[in-house]
Amino acid sequence: MNKIKRAVKARLLPWFAANKRSMPWRSNRTPYRVWISELMLQQTRVDQATPYFHRFMKRFPSLKSLAAASQEDVLKMWEGLGYYSRARNLHKAAQIIAADYSGRFPRDPAEILKLPGIGGYTVAAIGSLAFNLDMAVLDGNVIRVLSRLTAYTTDTRTTTAKKELQQLADELLVKGDAGNFNEAMMELGATVCLPKNPQCGECPMSKVCLGHESGRPTDYPVKAPKKKTPHMVVGAAVVTNRKGEVLIAQRREKDMLGGLWEFPGGKQETGETIQQCIVRELKEELGINIETCGFLVTVKHAYSHFTMDLHTYFAKIKSGRPRPLECQNFQWLKISDLRKVPYSKADLNIIAELEKPNGLKKG
């Protein structure tokens, strides 16, 4: 361990200083910018997160502006990133900071941890990067680096492993330079110590890495096989009226993708066709009796815990008027206005089909 610790100071930190990538959140570093960037980076790569970060900061340049915004506006700026509960929580947290902390991001880790949507990793990231507190982060990249450096053999998905790896990260932490240490570890995992093709010849830590010494660095980290991902078949309706408008519904706050808008529908049940599923779902969700018309598109989408085939059909109302029975709200919008509100990626694909020439005429 002492060899690794010495190599961190003598090799890793100088390597990071010379090779770190240019990222927008690394300049003009404030607690607010660190917070937003870390939430985005928890779910996507740097190159994907960068345009979202620029867009978000342009719309909400300060914590005050974020706290004053509507939730729908925040979700719209987050649209496409996924994990929308993070957007809802950061909005709530901004309002709490504005009300309870005079608009200043708290410095005390215990106070940061009280904010909605913030866990141990985010506290350590904000604490080290924004306030230079001696706190070590543990994300996927750091877990991989630590596992290979020490040839760690416990399944890293277990609680025991995460606790032990956090202790290891804490032991290696360079006191007084926690921000650079954390970023260096994450940068090494993101650019050199890669999951499938580690670039050991370029790694500043290779001489003290037990995984490299073994000749099988990709044996680490150790992970138990994942369970088979469930698959779901879903039906959705593009309900149109005589004005050429389309009916959309807003998901309830407590539901998955809460606050987002969608083309109404739901999961297919055993023994029913997809058209029967759509008819039943719209009756339950909006209290309307519909008939399906032409087929529009099937969208295939993968979430973190299931995959989905979303079969979308045009539909007309036979009887009844829409009411928000199992949704938060509904509205009729022209095709040209659909993108004014936030959706999940799957529904954005449906909109893209509708926007094509003669898109509505398929129905």
CB 116 within 8 A of CB 85: no
Per residue in 298-331, pLDDT (tens digit) is 999 998 889 999 999 999 999 999 999 999 999 9
**Is pLDDT at 361 greater than 70 in this prediction?**
no
Report residue 54 as tokens: 């620029």
Report residue 255 as tokens: 């539901």
The residue with tokens 């469930």 is 230
> Which whole number is the average pLDDT over 193-218?
96
Q: Which residue type, as a one-letter code, is found at position 79? A: E
Do β-strands 231-239 and 307-319 pair in parallel, antiparallel, or remain unpaired? Answer: parallel
**Is pLDDT at 37 greater than 80 in this prediction?**
yes
Q: List the CATH code of the domain at 2-219.
A: 1.10.340.30
The residue with tokens 């979303």 is 310
**Stretch among 36-50, 90-104, 190-204, 278-292 having the lowest mean pLDDT:** 36-50
CB 348 within 8 A of CB 361: no
Q: Where in the chain is the domain with CATH 1.10.340.30?
A: 2-219
Dist CA 341 CA 339 (whole Å): 5
User: How many Cβ atoms sit within 10 Å of the Cβ of residue 241?
Assistant: 11
Q: Which residue type, as a one-letter code, is found at position 257? A: L
For residue 221, say if its preceding peptide bond is cis, omega within 30 degrees of 0: yes
Closest-CA residue to 238 (of 293, 161, 315, 138): 315
Dist CA 146 CA 313 (whole Å): 50
**pTM of the entire predicted model:** 0.86
Measured CA to CA in angstroms, residue 243 lies from 89, 195, 246, 247, 289 at distances of 37, 53, 9, 11, 19
pLDDT band at 362 (very low <50, low <70, confident <90, very high): low
For residue 253, say whether it is annotated as part of any ligand binding site.
Answer: no
> Which whole number is the average pLDDT over 60-71?
97
For residue 251, say whether it is annotated as part of any ligand binding site.
Answer: yes
**Is pLDDT at 360 greater than 80 in this prediction?**
no
E strands, 48-125, are none
Q: How far apart are the first and last CA of the chain?
A: 67
For residue 263, say whether it is annotated as part of any ligand binding site.
Answer: yes
- DSSP at 10: I
Q: What are phi and psi of 137, to 5 degrees?
A: -90, 155
Q: Where in the chain is the domain with CATH 3.90.79.10?
A: 231-362
Report residue 252 as tokens: 């309830």
Q: What is the pLDDT of residue 363?
A: 56
Measured CA to CA in angstroms, residue 256 lies from 36, 260, 325 at distances of 21, 9, 17
For residue 171, say whether it is annotated as part of any ligand binding site.
Answer: no
Strand order in the sheet with 265-267: 265-267, 231-239, 307-319, 289-302
Helix residue spans in 192-265 (DSSP H): 210-214
Average pLDDT, the chain: 95
Do β-strands 265-267 and 246-250 pair in parallel, antiparallel, or remain unpaired? Answer: unpaired
Q: List the CATH code of the domain at 231-362.
A: 3.90.79.10
What string of H, E and C letters represents the secondary structure of 40-57?
HHCCCCHHHHHHHHHHHH
Do β-strands 307-319 and 289-302 pair in parallel, antiparallel, or remain unpaired? Answer: antiparallel
Q: Which residues are catalytic?
A: 38
